[in-house]
Amino acid sequence: MTGSLSGCGGSDSQQGLAGADAPTTVKEVQRAEATPTREVPAPIADGSGSILTYSTVGYIDYGNPFFAPLGNGRACASCHQEGQAWSVTPAALQARFNASAGSDPIFQTVDGSNSPDAVTATLAQKQSAYSMLLTKGVIRVGLPLPAGAEFELTQVNDPYGFASAAQLSLFRRPLPAANLSFESTVMWDGRETLAASSNLCIKGTAPSQCFATQNADLGAQANAAAEGHAQLVGGLNATQQQSIVDFESALFVAQVSDNAAGNLGVNGATGGTQNLAAVPFYFGINDVVSGDYRSGTRFSSNVMNLFTAWQTAAPAPLPPGGRGAPPPVTADPAANARASIARGEQLFNTRPFDITGVAGLNDVLNQPNVRGTCSTCHDSPNAGTMSAPRLLDTGVAAANLRTPDLPLYTLKNIATGAMRQTTDPGRALITGKWSDLDKFKVPNLRGLAARAPYFHNGSQADLPSVIRFYDHRFQIGLSPQDVTDLANFLRAL
């Protein structure tokens, strides 16, 4: 990418002007009139191969206000970088820190540092003030305890000495500003999924919960981001807002090649970015609770089917022994890698386990034990979001997983006196509801390899760690080979 921030594109053509500055040849005139900020994206290497961004308009316009420095010098692109699947990674952030001696605009105390009060006079002070951003790629989202909440904050244990009921510090990963057409829910806590009277309603809810269009959500989101992260006084104007939304809504990003398996869109597979842009999505597609909102067909756990054709990539017969036996291998390493990805995809769709204690799912389905799969929650086909705006508590913010670098909040239910500890109350800080504690959206699973670490707080450094979290949380009983296959599959998304 060019990194060019100016929108210059020869709008004031020098044509017809006499004098030394006027272009002299036809070729130079053409160059002056071209739009140098527009580029057709190329693949960018990541840890396991490469990702590619595709824009439905055919190019990426680096002259879009998405790339323009706003109030405090930050742009949307400060935290949403093409090469990191439109998020940011700790390694790239540390490189930016080193290259700029900590003065890249992302390093600002408004929400880049562990506390807004952090001292950042020397380089060493900066390195420590921005340690959460540099090690986990998390931004400090500051949100107050909402008025009228069903709970109160009785204790704050903030290692950085700042958080209070007026502003809790919530360390969260930038979500990709791409693949947005698969999102039913905007932001980790859904706070930009705006309520509205519309026909976009969650089925079977009383009173019915209905939502604004995604265009409206993203417009509000862009404005809040400009005012918040970029401290743009007065916000974006309507033209900037819509051009940012149009820009990001056109972006698709996915892994296109894998170091071991090669091109992810060959031999019948439909991985890669171009295929992703053609994946259908609508509000409630393949909904796990009520079935598909348009066709009415029952939920299918066969959510991911990009690599079905690769199931026969390593054609040797299965040795006797069934599950747990080593997978068949051939002399061709790429064929073995393709077979592993295909096995991982089948595990994602079909390996059953008991989903228990997930607020937002078990209670909604009225089943204390849901016999499900990874695709139960990641229900939107070949994208992995949840196709209706339901937020779930899978336990990522629970006190037992708290690491010393995270704040711990103790909350008390005002009506019942019940107590709960959490590192991030999630949805409950938006609704004030005790039952929404620790609920987060089910995020998109495409372009994962380029944007570690994972979960809202960046707590899992890599994909095998994510899988081991689930194995432990739901007692799945995955073998080491299963973990490898699932991780290879997730890396290929």
Give residues in contact with ligand HEC (CB under 6 A). 74, 76, 78-80, 106, 111, 139, 141, 172, 174-175, 177, 180, 183, 186-189, 218, 221-222, 225-226, 229-230, 244, 248, 348, 355, 358, 361, 372, 374, 376-378, 392, 394, 396, 440, 442-443, 445, 448, 454-456, 466-467, 470, 486, 490
At its nearest, how many Å lie between ligand HEC and the CB of residue 79?
A: 3
At its nearest, how many Å lie between ligand HEC and the CB of residue 319?
A: 25
Helix (H, G, I), strand (E, B) or coil at 443: coil
Beta strands in 78-207 (DSSP E): 139-143, 151-157, 168-172
Q: Which is nearer to ligand HEC, 41 or 174 (CB)?
A: 174
Beta strands in 315-384 (DSSP E): 353-356, 369-372
At its nearest, how many Å lie between ligand HEC and the CB of residue 401?
A: 10
At its nearest, how many Å lie between ligand HEC and the CB of residue 183?
A: 5
Helices (H), 235-361: 238-249, 273-277, 333-350
Sheet holding 262-263, edge to edge: 44-46, 49-55, 251-258, 262-263
Helix (H, G, I), strand (E, B) or coil at 354: strand
Q: Which is nearer to ligand HEC, 261 or 377 (CB)?
A: 377
At its nearest, how many Å lie between ligand HEC and the CB of residue 265?
A: 21
Q: Which is nearer to ligand HEC, 80 or 343 (CB)?
A: 80
Q: Which is nearer to ligand HEC, 145 or 225 (CB)?
A: 225
Q: Which is nearer to ligand HEC, 445 or 492 (CB)?
A: 445
CA end-to-end span of the chain, whole Å? 22
CA angle (78, 76, 140) in 5-degree steps: 70
At its nearest, how many Å lie between ligand HEC and the CB of residue 327?
A: 18
Which residue's entry shows tokens 């970088």?
A: 81
Beta strands in 132-250 (DSSP E): 139-143, 151-157, 168-172
At its nearest, how many Å lie between ligand HEC and the CB of residue 355?
A: 5
Assign residue 3 a region (left: φ > 0; alpha: ψ between -120 and 50; beta: otherwise): left
At its nearest, how many Å lie between ligand HEC and the CB of residue 427?
A: 11
**Cα torsion through 241, 246, 252, 253, rounded to 10:** -30
Query: How far is residue 27's CA from residue 32's CA, in Å, rounded to a whole number?
Result: 9
Q: Which is nearer to ligand HEC, 230 or 337 (CB)?
A: 230
Q: Which is nearer to ligand HEC, 41 or 190 (CB)?
A: 190
286, 387 Cβ separation under 8 angstroms: yes
145, 152 Cβ separation under 8 angstroms: yes
Q: Which is nearer to ligand HEC, 76 or 335 (CB)?
A: 76
